[in-house]
Chain A
Amino acid sequence: MPISYAQVDTILSDRLEDELSQRYSVENRLAAINSGIGRAQFALGYMLANRKGSEEALKDFTKIGVWQTDPFGSALLDDPLLGYTIANVVGLYAEPELQAAVPVIPGPSSQYRSDALWAGAGKPVRRVTLEQVGVIRDNAMMPGNEVLASNASRREWAYYLNNGRAWLLPKSQAGSAFVAIAHIEKFAPMTTVNDTVNLPEFMLETLASWAYSYITWKQGDRGPMGTLAMQDANELFGFTTT
Chain B
Amino acid sequence: MPTYNEIISDIAVALGFTHDDSLLGRNALGAIVINAENKLSGQDLANDLGPASSGVAAQDRLTTFPAVPVIYTENTNDVEWAHHYVILPATVHDIANGAGIGFVRYHRPSIPVNCPPSVARATFTQTSLGSLSALYDHPMQRPSPSQPYFCRALDNGQERIYIFGMDPQVSKLLLGLYVANSYLTVDFNSEIRLPPARIFDLKRLAMQMSFWSMTIPQERLKNDGRDMEPGQQVNAPPIISVNDPAMVSNIPQQ
Summarize B's interface: helix, strand, loop or mixed. loop
Contact assessment for A91 and B20 in the assembled complex, using a CB-CB cutoff below 8 Å? yes
A51 to B16, CA, bound (A): 14
Contact assessment for B184 and A156 in the assembled complex, using a CB-CB cutoff below 8 Å? no
User: What sequence of 0s and 1s flags, for each residue 220-236 of chain B, a beta carbon within 8 Å of any chain A beta carbon?
Assistant: 00001000000000000
Q: Least Cβ distance of B64 to chain A in Å?
A: 24
Contact assessment for B27 and A156 in the assembled complex, using a CB-CB cutoff below 8 Å? yes
Contact assessment for B27 and A143 in the assembled complex, using a CB-CB cutoff below 8 Å? yes
Contact assessment for A141 and B184 in the assembled complex, using a CB-CB cutoff below 8 Å? no
Nearest A residue to B190 via CB reads A153
User: What sequence of 0s and 1s flags, for each residue 147-179 of chain A, a beta carbon within 8 Å of any chain B beta carbon?
Assistant: 110010110100000000000000000000000
A18 to B107, CA, bound (A): 99
Contact assessment for B25 and A141 in the assembled complex, using a CB-CB cutoff below 8 Å? yes
Q: Which residues of A contact B27 (CB under 8 A)?
A: 140-143, 145, 148, 154, 156
For residue B183, CB closer than 8 A to chain A, the reply is yes
Contact assessment for B184 and A142 in the assembled complex, using a CB-CB cutoff below 8 Å? no
A156 to B27, CA, bound (A): 8
Q: Which residues of B contact A186 (CB under 8 A)?
A: none
A to B CB contacts below 8 Å, 29 in the list: A51-B20, A51-B21, A91-B20, A124-B20, A126-B20, A126-B25, A127-B20, A127-B21, A140-B27, A140-B183, A140-B184, A141-B24, A141-B27, A141-B28, A141-B31, A142-B25, A142-B28, A143-B25, A143-B26, A145-B27, A147-B184, A151-B184, A153-B187, A153-B189, A154-B27, A154-B186, A156-B25, A156-B26, A156-B27
Having A140-B184, A142-B28, one finds 13 other A-B pairs with CB under 8 Å, namely: A51-B20, A51-B224, A124-B20, A126-B20, A126-B25, A127-B20, A141-B25, A141-B28, A141-B31, A143-B27, A145-B27, A153-B188, A156-B27
Residues of B with Cβ closer than 8 Å to A? 19-21, 24-28, 31, 183-184, 186-189, 224
